Amino acid sequence: MTRYRIPELASKYIDHEMIRRHAALPDFPDSRIRLLFGFLSQHRFAAAASELYSLAVSLVQLGLDTHDRVDTEAGDRGIKDMRERQLRVLAGDYFSSRFYQLLAGAGQIDMIRRLSGSICEANRLKTGLYVQAKDHSLTAEEYLDRHAGIRSILFDSFTILLEEKIRPLWNELLLTLTRMEVLQEEWSRSLREHALAGSWGYWHVLEAGAAEDRELLLQPSAPDSAAARDLIERYRIQTLLADKLAACADKFRTLAGRIESDRLAQEVLLIGDRLMAAAVPTSPMTGEMR
């Protein structure tokens, strides 16, 4: 397998002083890129382009994630806020455009078409999620499913390149991994009282909470820090998320054990270990509470 060096290659496009100074970038999607790179590298139909494809999709994902960070709230803004907003928009456009340059230069027109279609689908899913959230018709489980699906959609573009017998396992690993990512971020989010609005915990309380607590969340203004912390503790939001994360980690390990290639199986297990090592509530890939 070719040495994994996608973050190093991507830094050529990401590491710009103006962007670093004025527009905080999202995290590099390393776990998903490692998973994609590992699977592509193991299959004769895709191995030759595994590095190119992984680099291209990493830049597209960074572009979409950067655009997601753009503040769309109305109201007066200071010069600094306006500059940061404009640079985020431009940075997202820049990252997204690099994938086209890379793939077009390599004559990969079909992959440009596939990724472009996936970008449209990702935006469609985000719009649907936004509408559900505005209508308050979203359940906590749907929230997880929608976000995991949005994170996986670009990577689904490469399923067709894999051998048919491995595709179901690839798809299941990808969705389990993206679900782990969402749960990890939601657990970290639950530590910040001001971030309750719109989180998994918010939808869980709206779905399963007492009437007075649901009414509190539906008020025009978000609950203050004390009220939000009370809801998080009474509804055991952190414990529930930790349990879900541990269950996903167990499933990911089981799926990795079904990979025929020992080398790829070990690499996939390491991907899970790295992700879980950054997750406070559980020990790496064991599901045991710390």
Q: Locate the domains of the chain by residue range.
A: 1-138, 163-290
pLDDT at 89 over 80: no
The band of 165, judged by pLDDT with boundaries at 50, 70 and 90, is: very high
Residue with tokens 């994170």: 151
User: Distance between CA 29 and CA 181 in Å, rounded?
Assistant: 10
pTM: 0.90
Signed CA dihedral, 1, 111, 23, 221: sign only: negative
> What is the identity of the amino acid at 225?
S
pLDDT at 234 over 90: yes
Higher pLDDT, 22 or 15: 15
| Integer angstrom CA distances of residue 65 from 58, 93, 98, 150, 164 | 10, 11, 15, 11, 30
Signed CA dihedral, 278, 284, 286, 289: sign only: negative
What pLDDT, on the 0 to 100 scale, is given for residue 174?
A: 99
Average pLDDT over residues 210-239: 96
For 19-66, write each residue's pLDDT tens digit: 777 667 889 999 999 999 999 998 877 888 999 999 999 999 999 998
Question: What percent of the chain is modeled with pLDDT above 90?
Answer: 72
What pLDDT, on the 0 to 100 scale, is given for residue 59?
A: 95
